[in-house]
């Protein structure tokens, strides 16, 4: 009696997403096995502990071999050693370049150098993220920065082209590169309430409106460096607070438009000149690198904290900023409307994001 046996042979590389997550999180093989046992996988599959150990080691070996390709994602797509479906390739890349919110908040705005890398032990202890995972995330930030920092064209597009990331993750990396290049201070105590998402939102606005790329799409570093000529010109806005007649007229226009519309009208009226001086002086100081770095500290000190102390609702902040910005167009003798709009258009969006009432 003859028996028939069907045999299927394939060479598709198997990727266990759970094991990949454990590897990315920096767990050793033994720790990963322990966590898998705790998840109940032995009962679910009927496997033995020895088989689970071997399976985990096999996956880890595969991930280590894939890692050099993940450093340059287009190589993963074009290599022939590992047969991985496109959807799986995208998953491997996206998760490899994903990062923890707690980690990125610790390094955002810092120079991506050996000096910062020495701090990773402390960051690991503070955040509870394994040192190995901290190193992977830091090296990813540094790798992307080095590849795209001097490229011509859109920062987001360049990141997507060279690292094959999703639009959302590429935008997050664009914010990280932008902050690292301009060294914005994000670690001060008064900024700790802000999330990475808050800073990334502001970065996107600044990239769109305050960089070289906002006026010339053919320059190198177009989305990385702030437009120095624009920052120089911002000192012209000082006239709004230095000229007493202009300052009084600006206040009058804003108060007339908002009377009866703000729950904090009296507080706004009493504090208008201080708020206006704060916003204009922030602009005038951006000619200096240190003041660029302290932008978010200054915005919180000069605007967010005074409004918060007077209990401004977010909608009142929105109404005030809209009217404050628009009223400048009605000031006779003020000749810097385009400059004002370029500055305030971005600042409004940032301040509303920074303001948590």
Give 273-285 pLDDT, tens digit per residue.
999 999 999 999 9
pLDDT band at 3 (very low <50, low <70, confident <90, very high): low
Work out the percent of the chain whose per-residue pLDDT is above 70.
94
pLDDT surpasses 60 at 10: no
The whole-model pTM stands at 0.91
pLDDT band at 115 (very low <50, low <70, confident <90, very high): confident
**pLDDT value at residue 8:** 45
pLDDT surpasses 90 at 212: no
**pLDDT value at residue 216:** 64
Which helix (H) or strand (E) segment holds residue 269: the answer is helix 265-285
Could you give the 3-state DSSP secondary structure of residue 152? strand
247: closest CA among 265, 274, 268, 266? 274
Q: What is the pLDDT of residues 77-95, one digit of tens each?
A: 999 889 999 999 999 999 9
Q: How far apart are CA 320 and CA 268, in angstroms?
A: 8
Q: What is the pLDDT of residues 221-232, one digit of tens each?
A: 567 889 999 999
Instruction: Show Cβ contacts of residue 74 under 8 Å, excluding neighbours closer than 6 positions.
Output: 162, 164
What rounded mean pLDDT belongs to the chain?
93
**pLDDT value at residue 109:** 95
**pLDDT value at residue 14:** 86
Instruction: Give residue 212's region: left, alpha or beta (phi > 0; psi -120 to 50).
Output: alpha
Work out the percent of the chain whose per-residue pLDDT is above 90.
84
**pLDDT value at residue 5:** 56
pLDDT band at 356 (very low <50, low <70, confident <90, very high): confident
Q: What is the pLDDT of residues 246-282, one digit of tens each?
A: 999 999 999 999 999 999 999 999 999 999 999 999 9
Residues constituting the chain: 357
**pLDDT value at residue 343:** 97
- What is the arithmetic mean of pLDDT over 167-186? 97
- What is the arithmetic mean of pLDDT over 233-252? 96
Q: Which value, in Å, is the radius of gyration of the alpha carbons in the chain?
A: 26
pLDDT band at 9 (very low <50, low <70, confident <90, very high): very low
- What is the arithmetic mean of pLDDT over 123-148? 97
- What is the arithmetic mean of pLDDT over 96-102? 98
Query: Is 214 in contact with 208 (CB distance < 8 Å)?
Result: yes
- Highest average pLDDT, of 20-29, 74-83, 216-225, comes from 20-29
Q: How far apart are CA 241 and CA 247, in angstroms?
A: 5
**pLDDT value at residue 220:** 57
Q: How far apart are CA 146 and CA 78, in angstroms?
A: 23
Q: How far apart are CA 56 and CA 59, in angstroms?
A: 5
């Amino acid at each position: 009696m003859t028996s028939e046996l069907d045999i299927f042979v394939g060479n598709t590389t198997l990727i266990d997403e759970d094991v990949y997550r454990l590897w990315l999180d920096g767990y050793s093989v033994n720790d990963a096995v322990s966590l898998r046992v705790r998840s109940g996988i032995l009962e679910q599959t009927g496997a033995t502990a020895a088989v689970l150990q071997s399976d985990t080691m096999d996956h880890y070996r595969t991930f280590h071999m894939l890692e050099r390709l993940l450093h340059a994602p287009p190589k993963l797509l074009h290599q022939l050693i590992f047969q991985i479906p496109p959807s799986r390739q995208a998953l491997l890349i996206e998760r490899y370049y994903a990062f923890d919110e707690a980690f990125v908040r610790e390094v955002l705005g810092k120079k991506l150098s050996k000096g910062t890398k020495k701090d990773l032990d402390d960051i690991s202890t503070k955040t509870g993220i394994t040192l190995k995972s901290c190193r992977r995330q830091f090296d990813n930030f540094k790798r992307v920065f080095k590849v795209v920092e001097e490229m011509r064209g859109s920062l987001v597009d360049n990141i997507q082209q060279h690292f094959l990331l999703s639009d959302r993750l590429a935008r997050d990396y664009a914010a990280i590169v932008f902050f690292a290049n301009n060294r914005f201070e994000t670690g001060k105590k008064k900024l700790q309430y802000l999330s990475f998402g808050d800073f990334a939102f502001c970065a996107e606005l600044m990239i769109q409106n305050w960089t070289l790329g906002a006026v010339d799409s053919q320059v190198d570093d177009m989305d990385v460096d702030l437009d120095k000529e624009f920052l120089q010109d911002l000192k012209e806005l000082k006239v709004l607070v230095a000229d007493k007649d202009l300052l009084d007229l600006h206040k009058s226009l804003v108060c007339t438009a908002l009377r009866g519309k703000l729950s904090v009208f009296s507080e706004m009226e009493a504090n208008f000149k201080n708020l206006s001086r704060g916003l204009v002086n922030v602009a005038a100081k951006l000619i200096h690198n240190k003041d660029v770095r302290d932008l978010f500290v200054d915005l919180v000190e000069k605007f967010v904290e005074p409004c918060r102390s007077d209990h401004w609702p977010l909608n009142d902040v929105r109404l005030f900023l809209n009217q404050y910005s628009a009223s400048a167009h009605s000031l006779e003798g003020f000749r810097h409307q385009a400059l004002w709009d370029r500055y305030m258009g971005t600042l409004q969006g940032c301040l509303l994001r920074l303001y948590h009432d």
